[in-house]
Chains A and B, each alone.
Chain A
């Protein structure tokens, strides 16, 4: 039986959402107040969902593991947020934004979802502006735009290199207004440890109070996961250190299918690894490639300082390989090109694992002041970390794990395969295919939460207006809570020698080596064996200090790493199964003569949605065929 009904509406692409909205059920304001909705996560997707549902009159409960909702990792997005405003008069449109995303995702996303994301993008910009988000402006008082990778128009709205922080503060301020109004109850310092299913529907969650250790039950008529991505599976990544996959993974184990888990974006411009204690890779925004030129010396292992290498001895390899897009090729292409040069021995820095991102020419042309205006805070950040000034010496950069296109499978209504469980933002899989274009994640998270989910969840809840508040004393809550407690006891009871972080580092290395930028069958099979061995060792030799009844950061980490072990296997299985290359998923066996990704549309034009079949069992693959009615599948060329 095919479990996947994507519920994509019939009709012309541009009319689908409009027609669909008209068919969705409504709920009157008095009844909305009787309905409870749980939102997990307070990044842009979570905050926007929660505040909007609160504005509509639902009784909303919001959870985050941080001490304040404002700290969720959307805050770290730097470069911008896309919209199809065509403010630059460069012939941009909703259709072009849609097409760039579909192409950027290497034709592995749903047409209807992507079009809708582009369609609501303009509303998102209007709303953030109204909330007081200080987007960069021109002298006449209008909003400025800049360009991003993979596109030929300027449609990116930005606030220096802090667009995520500025948008999140806007979204957070709207959320605090609803908290004050009493429509939203905020539960910070809580971690969701399981999902509660009642009669086949998502009806609540079990959380751990991270301060007291108390295990809590929370019920609702519907649950929304806005829990972000799982890029920290590589240990070193551009994500916040506490970002994790546990909520989505628990939902998966309770029946939500997980789609395209191996589609992971490796961002090309991160500050490279500098020492073995490193805990984090800091991103340098893609926007820097508007003015920075990427190069390596033409001579392998050139010992000279970058500024001493004359122009003719520099290999601007992106401009050479991709003349049409140059330094602004999409992220997956730029990452692989950097890896190719470094693997061939042309990398720079003490490790040979970095390339130059040079602003010399831009500073010469536009002046230091203009560059400082656009990227000042990024340059400062770089200098603090590396000790070098990008105004004087080129930056050194290298790819790093960044964003996960894969996530919980959702239908057009953003509902997972568990009725009543919705997934928004990075936690779902739906809009970015096999590769996300820059500045489209803030756009998608916000569009989901402000303008899509509030309509579709209302349609779902319309059947629930007679369902009284779900009691947390029913056996389903009791049973799930018991399972959660048993697992905590198990983690605390191992009493071995190795820390959770040490296991996480070792797992991350396996994933980076075999399921990172480049994959092949042999490596993936090897990784699966290595992960299983390491996981066994984890359950025998983990050391967690302290108890479960207190603030215990080691226990938090241990639970997350345990889930990463399970998820990492699914990533490898999915990568093994997809024998084509597409977007960020590059299988060495499937490449063109010039080393570009080679898609196999005949056999792999589908979404791979995996079903959990129990511990130790192989997951079952469900395929959602991708039908392209409105665009022609083409080779994704940026040459």
Chain B
């Protein structure tokens, strides 16, 4: 198939960006979206032009590196799919595809489609952990966890930290990201111990780093490649209120 690409090009954080248009022929429908970009870059390099910079690594939907806004949607049109898992069979011959980086004040563009998502790491640092040193744990089966809680913890913990929720949200809120971590750890007895400090610290850090608040548009849930439910945010709010009440 033949396609047209409108891609955001921006040499670095300081310079202004703009869209460039490229035509690509003989695109195979089996290609992944990133393989299509590889193909474009291969052509560009041979023509002596600068290839499009984009972030990627595992290419199997788990590392969370890739994150591209495709035709106005985080990770493109396919539900519960990361950019690297997206196949060109989702597009039609003759399509024009618009390709942009994540757009969020907290995620400045580094180059072309690559943004700085380090604020997510900073939020994690503020409290997204259980305080225990190596060697201090008791036998794993001495902590019993109801299967339902364990399964819910798993679902929440399947967040890959790609930032699609932030990019999709009109407020650029990181609520779903934080909520998945809070909910994950709150399901376990060992995570309960410091749950109040955790929720307060992580929410405060999110505000400090320039992410917006949640206005329940549910865009995050719709675009999350791992299908993390907005019910996590309800649980976060509950944890947060309880924590505040206990102050």
Contacts of B22-47 to chain A: CB distance below 8 A: 28, 30-32, 34-35, 38-39, 42, 44-46
Q: State whether B63 touches A66 (Cβ < 8 A).
A: yes
B141 and chain A: residue at smallest CB distance? A142
Contacts of A381 in B (CB 8 A): 60-61, 85
Contacts of A58-74 to chain B: CB distance below 8 A: 66-73
Contacts of A131 in B (CB 8 A): 129-130, 132
Contacts of A384 in B (CB 8 A): 61, 78, 81, 85, 87
9-residue interface stretch from B91-99, B112-120, B166-174, B229-237: B112-120
Contacts of A546-586 to chain B: CB distance below 8 A: 546, 550-551, 553-554
Contacts of B129 in A (CB 8 A): 131, 173-174, 176-177
Q: State whether B140 touches A143 (Cβ < 8 A).
A: yes
A451-B31 contact in complex given A71-B57, A132-B191, A551-B53, C-beta closer than 8 Å: no
Q: B125 interface residue, CB < 8 Å from A?
A: yes
User: Inter-chain contact count A-B, CB under 8 Å?
Assistant: 220
Residue-wise, chain B 50-75 has the 8 Å CB interface mask toward A (1 for contact) of 11010111111111110000000000
Q: B128 interface residue, CB < 8 Å from A?
A: yes
Contacts of A278 in B (CB 8 A): 35
Contacts of A172 in B (CB 8 A): 124
**Looking at A123, A241, A283, A454, which has the most chain B CB atoms within 10 Å of its CB?**
A241
Q: State whether A277 touches B28 (Cβ < 8 A).
A: yes
Within the complex, which residue of A76, A128, A142, A502 is in contact with B63, where a contact is CB–CB below 8 Å?
A76
Q: A13 interface residue, CB < 8 Å from B?
A: no
Within the complex, which residue of A51, A68, A85 is in contact with B118, where a contact is CB–CB below 8 Å?
A68
Q: B3 interface residue, CB < 8 Å from A?
A: no
Give Cα distance in the complex from A174 to B81, angstroms.
28
Q: A180 interface residue, CB < 8 Å from B?
A: yes
By secondary structure, the B interface counts as: loop
Q: A137 interface residue, CB < 8 Å from B?
A: yes
Q: State whether B161 touches A68 (Cβ < 8 A).
A: yes
Q: Chain B's nearest CB lies how many Å from the CB of A475?
A: 34
Within the complex, which residue of B39, B51, B121 is in contact with A553, where a contact is CB–CB below 8 Å?
B51
Contacts of B139-185 to chain A: CB distance below 8 A: 139-141, 143-147, 150, 153-154, 157-158, 160-161, 184-185
Q: B245 interface residue, CB < 8 Å from A?
A: no
Contacts of B78 in A (CB 8 A): 384
Q: State whether B126 touches A180 (Cβ < 8 A).
A: yes
Q: State whether B53 touches A165 (Cβ < 8 A).
A: no
Q: A269 interface residue, CB < 8 Å from B?
A: no
Q: A392 interface residue, CB < 8 Å from B?
A: no
A173-B130 contact in complex given A275-B28, A551-B110, C-beta closer than 8 Å: yes
Q: State whether A166 touches B154 (Cβ < 8 A).
A: yes
Q: State whether B65 touches A543 (Cβ < 8 A).
A: no
Give Cα distance in the complex from A186 to B38, angstroms.
30
Q: State whether B134 touches A127 (Cβ < 8 A).
A: yes
Q: B215 interface residue, CB < 8 Å from A?
A: no
Q: State whether A279 touches B188 (Cβ < 8 A).
A: no
Q: A387 interface residue, CB < 8 Å from B?
A: yes
B89 and chain A: residue at smallest CB distance? A387
Q: State whether A450 touches B134 (Cβ < 8 A).
A: yes
Q: State whether A240 touches B59 (Cβ < 8 A).
A: yes
Contacts of B65 in A (CB 8 A): 66-67, 71
Q: A372 interface residue, CB < 8 Å from B?
A: no
B44 and chain A: residue at smallest CB distance? A545
Q: Chain A's nearest CB lies how many Å from the CB of B33?
A: 11
Q: Chain A's nearest CB lies how many Å from the CB of B132?
A: 5
Q: Chain B's nearest CB lies how many Å from the CB of A508?
A: 15
Q: Chain B's nearest CB lies how many Å from the CB of A184?
A: 10
Contacts of A501 in B (CB 8 A): 38, 42
A553 and chain B: residue at smallest CB distance? B53
Give Cα distance in the complex from A271 to B3, angstroms.
27
Contacts of B138 in A (CB 8 A): 126, 130
Q: Chain B's nearest CB lies how many Å from the CB of A117?
A: 16
A87-B46 contact in complex given A177-B131, A277-B39, C-beta closer than 8 Å: no
Q: State whether B137 touches A554 (Cβ < 8 A).
A: no
Give Cα distance in the complex from A148 to B60, angstroms.
22
Give Cα distance in the complex from A132 to B55, angstroms.
29
Give Cα distance in the complex from A278 to B12, angstroms.
29
Within the complex, which residue of A51, A176, A545 is in contact with B128, where a contact is CB–CB below 8 Å?
A176
Q: A55 interface residue, CB < 8 Å from B?
A: yes
16 more contacts with CB within 8 A, not counting A123-B137, A280-B59, are: A55-B134, A71-B63, A72-B63, A75-B63, A129-B190, A130-B190, A132-B157, A141-B145, A142-B141, A165-B62, A179-B125, A278-B35, A381-B85, A384-B81, A545-B45, A554-B51
9 contacts between A and B (CB under 8 A): A67-B65, A76-B63, A130-B138, A143-B140, A160-B154, A176-B121, A240-B58, A275-B30, A384-B61
Closest 6 pairs between A and B when the two form their complex, measured CB to CB: A141-B144, A173-B129, A130-B137, A129-B140, A126-B137, A280-B59
